[in-house]
Structure 1
Amino acid sequence: MNHERCPYTARHFTNVTGKGMPLVSPTFSFLPQCHDVDLLDCCNGLLLCRCYVSRGTFQFHYAVCNPATKEWVMLPDANWAIEENHTACLCFDPAISSQFHVPDWRRRECKQEHIQLCTNKKLHNILDFKGEPPQQAASITDELIVEILRRLPVRSVCRFKCVSKSWRKLIADHEHRKKLPQTLSGFFYKSIDYERCPHMARHFTNATGRGMPLVCPTFSFLPQCHHVVILDSCNGLLLCRCHVSRETLQFQYAVCNPATGECVMLPDANWAIDENRTACLCFDPAISSHFHVLEYVEDEEYVEDEDEYDALVTGVVIYSSKTGLWSLHVNGWDDEVMVSLPVDRTRVFLNGFLHSVTTCDIVAVDMEGKKWRKIPMPDPDGDIGIIHQTQGRLCAFNVDPNDILELSIWFLEDYDTDNWILKHTVSSINLFGRKKYQLDFDYQVIAVHPECNLIFFVYGWHNTLMAYEMDRKEVRVIRKLGHESCLPYLPYVPMFSESLPDGWC
């Protein structure tokens, strides 16, 4: 803004690098003709603008546009008074829906709070009055507000807590929280202590490290069995191995939802006791209510030069909750791969594929066993990587062989072209109070927050849980999990939905 020029305000765009011609021209000549345009908000590629009709009035329309494609839509008039004060935000997540939302809240002199939610399908009025509400808003109930909020991304719901005290109370309500989108709540893990009986115990810790654990890990809702081992966690469901008795190695797989107490026992996969299998759970409620369990079928091969055996993948066996059957698929990668590595490198279910780290790259297979893919690691010269996912993207961690204390974090920006970008680097000296800790030996990367650039580590003798915020470069110690605790530390996002496949018990 410069009052010595006309017009006083001007729009600008700068590239992140600060170099070259601006990627976007901020003139927005593709918008309908209007006196002036204010940029209000930006969300995942879309912009929210306020288009003023003329210079002498305050009358305007909201417009949502895509500068990359020059598409735009003018929002209908919300029928509000000129003297009202407005704050509008744009909510859009293409990973969830192609539809956007524009919540608009305003205050009047009578201290009414009027929250209006506009979508490009419908216009919803959500009113929360401290004074006497008008007659036409009497039918807007808390249940209707929650029903609208549950369709928004987690970040948008968190932002709406700031609207008013009544909205904060509404969103924080225990019953309402079950219906709203969820985020990372904590971690399942186990501990082994041979001075107690039983030697192994299951635990759960909240992501904050405070309060009573959200989940009771006794899993009393499971059918009676001698011993239960948690193998994997995926979008609210857990894959468990239920051992029949102490004397035999016989077991059954069970998939359960700790939030609702539902479970299903999988049928026998008909494999020999001496076979080596690695099982993973694959589930994405945004794609389907059905889950898959994938087992890597491995065959040990003697390596004469190293005088040891390697477990090479010969195929996969996939269980589908939709069909209730297991199906065998022969290895479709170009060559033999090994996924059973000395240290767990984490497996990621993303975009309908299960991704696993091998000795040199990432291998992926879809749930029908028809598509097989290899993704090169971002730094082929680096140490064997670890993979996780965050914000709908695959991310990888590795260590520079020339500096074993430096951890590199990579994001797969373009899934189709294998385009990795280096997101962040950090030294273990800065992470762990000047201590020269090494990955895999002194600390583990156990998860990345699904909604933000927050990494969770476990380090040291007491297996201390710690979070590192990449953007601010801040470290926060959460709690000590105990020397007896051990891998895997499984992240858990609760799913309160009961719309599960038939056959659940």
Structure 2
Amino acid sequence: MKIKIKLSKTTDEAESAHIVASIHDLLVEILLRLPIKSLVRFKVVSKKWHSLITNPEFCYLRNPDPNPAIGLFLPCSGSRTDVSFEFLPFSNQKSTNSPFNKLNFTEDPSGIRILQSCNGLLLCCSSWTRVHNLKYYVYNPTTKNFSTLPNLEPRTGISNQIRGMSLAFDPTKSPHYTVVCIRGFETDSDEYRYQIESYSSNTGPWRICSEPFTAEANFENGVYFNGAIHWINTGIGDSLYYDIENQALETMQMPPIPHGWDWRDNFYFGESCGHLYYMDIRGSNIGFDVYEMKKDQSEWFVKYQVDLAPVVAVYPGMIRDEYHPTDWCYYAFSVFSLIADEEGGNSFLVLQIPGKVLRFNLDSKTFEMLHEFEGAEFEDFLRFSGTNAFQYMESLCCV
């Protein structure tokens, strides 16, 4: 026979809890020590708690530095209107539940895909529809809150051809974010030009922020770093960046280009914990340099030198030489992301090889398997193409 015993708080315990909750500074100190997932649940306790936890000042106190990424969202191949994602946590010591498998925070018949991740927020858009019907969203996967961006209005002389959308957000500087849009149009002389428009969650509607300009840049892959959106040049000359605060379009030195380099080759260009990185990655070369941009954006320097020969020795399935002479091999691998950990000395690459994902420590040169894909024993190819992966960071910031 089972006996159920109901435990209840004594009057003294209830009064003590009430007293603690009524002392604002003490309550803040207690909440600051809780994990973010608990804080998300505790927002519904009362209006007071909701106001406290969503306050930008509390968010900053909770994380004075941007949270390090704890995983990646990998877009799976599928229909254009049925976009799904595989979540890859960085820690293999404890399970981390995926925040989502599909982006269904709002009804969008076209499906929703991710364009960019920036310090805990995701810039998303309709997956497949006519250009003038595209919807753009800023989504916080931790709190499940989102905002729909206002539509871009047609302007005289400017087509609705959107060449790129990028998100700029730094919670250590401001609770507000900016979205930068590059629109392209042809002039009367048949010259193709670009123009920058921006939207601020603080000041509101879209506005033109630049004179028309010409450029050779990959505007689809903008990276936020040091208060600006950066784009890699796809031709000859300097790269570009747009300074958000000063509303100025500037040039930046291109990363060092190896002999015979072609912009269509596989490269990695990304940011982590306030550092901007670039790698020229070729399947014919398992040794490459990791370049980092100086904070003043004056030049690139070699931060790490990578040699994947020890990885190939353990996973010889990376070698692809059946279509090439015996003295030249192709290696199947790609870099999903570089995650910086300057203080701990544990910066690492998230490295994809056939059927698996590895964590390659850039300081110790050691590696371990993070994830093995289902059916990996039958795979001799890379499941995910390119470096199209999006960092996930826990954040309480409002959108």
Alignment TM-score, normalising by the size of structure 2: 0.67
Q: Equivalent residue for 1:337?
A: 216
The 1:300–1:185 alpha-carbon spacing in structure 2 relative to 1, beyond 3 Å, is farther
SS where residue 230 of structure 1 aligns?
Answer: strand
Partner SS state of residue 337, structure 1: coil
Q: Corresponding residue for 2:324?
A: none
Q: Does 1:282 align with 2:176?
A: no
Q: CA deviation at 1:268?
A: 0.8
2:304 to 405, 414, 424: 424
1:373 aligns with one of 231, 247, 250: 250
Which residue of structure 1 aligns with residue 239 of structure 2? 362
Aligned to 1:459: 353
My pick for the range that moved more, 270-279 or 259-268, is 270-279
Q: Displacement, 1:199? A: 5.2
Whether 1:316 and 2:196 are equivalent positions in the alignment is yes
Q: Aligned partners of 2:85, 2:270: CA distance in 1, in Å?
A: 23
**1:249-273 residue CA offsets vs partner (Å, 9 max, x unmatched):** 7221111111112111111113588
Q: Which residue is equivalent to 1:232?
A: 116
Q: For residues 257 and 172 of structure 1, what CA distance do their matches in structure 2 show?
A: 16
- Give unmatched runs, 5+ long, in structure 2: 1-19, 41-52, 54-58, 321-327, 375-381
Q: Highest Rg: 1 or 2?
A: 1
Q: For residue 192 of structure 1, what is the aligned residue in structure 2?
A: 77
Q: 2-side partners of 1:298 and 1:443: how far apart?
A: 34
Q: Which has the higher strand share?
A: 1
Which amino acid in structure 2 is aligned with residue 175 of structure 1?
A: S
Distance of 1:263 and 1:441 partners within structure 2: 41
- How many Å apart are 1:239 and its aligned residue? 1.1
Amino acid at match of 1:208: S
| CA displacement 1:135-161 (0-9 Å, x = unmatched) | xxxx9x9x85973995xxxxxxxxxxx
1:53-202 map, 5 Å = 144=26, 147=29, 175=38, 180-181=62-63, 182-193=67-78, 200-202=83-85
Q: Which has the higher contact order (CA 8 A, sep 6+)?
A: 2
| 8 A contact 2:358–2:369 mirrored in 1 | yes
User: What residue identity is the alignment partner of 2:256?
Assistant: D
Go from structure 1 to structure 2 and tell me whether the alpha carbon gap of 1:322 and 1:274 turns closer, same or farther (over 3 Å shift): closer
Letter in 1 for 2:173: I
Counterparts of 2:201 and 2:36, CA distance in 1: 33
Which amino acid in the other structure matches residue 223 of structure 2? V
- Asked if the contact 1:193/1:484 (under 8 Å) is kept, the reply is no
> Could you say which structure has the higher helix fraction?
2
Matched, 1:494 2:394: yes
**TM-score, structure 1 normalization:** 0.54
Question: Residue 448 of structure 1: SS of its match in structure 2?
Answer: strand
> Are 2:84 and 2:102, in contact at CA under 8 Å, matched by a contact in 1?
no
Code of the residue aligned with 2:252 in structure 1: it is I
1:445 paired with 2:335, answer yes
| RMSD across aligned positions (CA) | 4.1
**Does the 8 Å CA contact 1:192/1:199 hold for their aligned counterparts?**
no
C-alpha spacing 1:295/1:246, structure 2 compared with 1 (3 Å): closer
| Equivalences, count | 321
Is the 8 Å Cα contact of residues 159 and 185 (structure 2) preserved in structure 1? no
Q: Which amino acid aligns with 1:339?
A: N
Identity %: 19
Pair 1:392-2:282 in alignment: no
Deviation string, structure 1 residues 13-38 (Cα, Å, up to 9, x no partner): xxxxxxxxxxxxxxxxxxxxxxxxxx
Question: Residue 285 of structure 2 aligns to a residue in which SS?
Answer: strand
- Helix, strand or coil for the counterpart of 1:430? helix
**Per-residue deviation, residues 266-288 of structure 1 (Å, max 9, x unmatched):** 11113588724211111111111
How many Å separate the matches in 2 of 1:248 and 1:280? 17
**What amino acid is aligned across from residue 364 of structure 1 in structure 2?**
Y
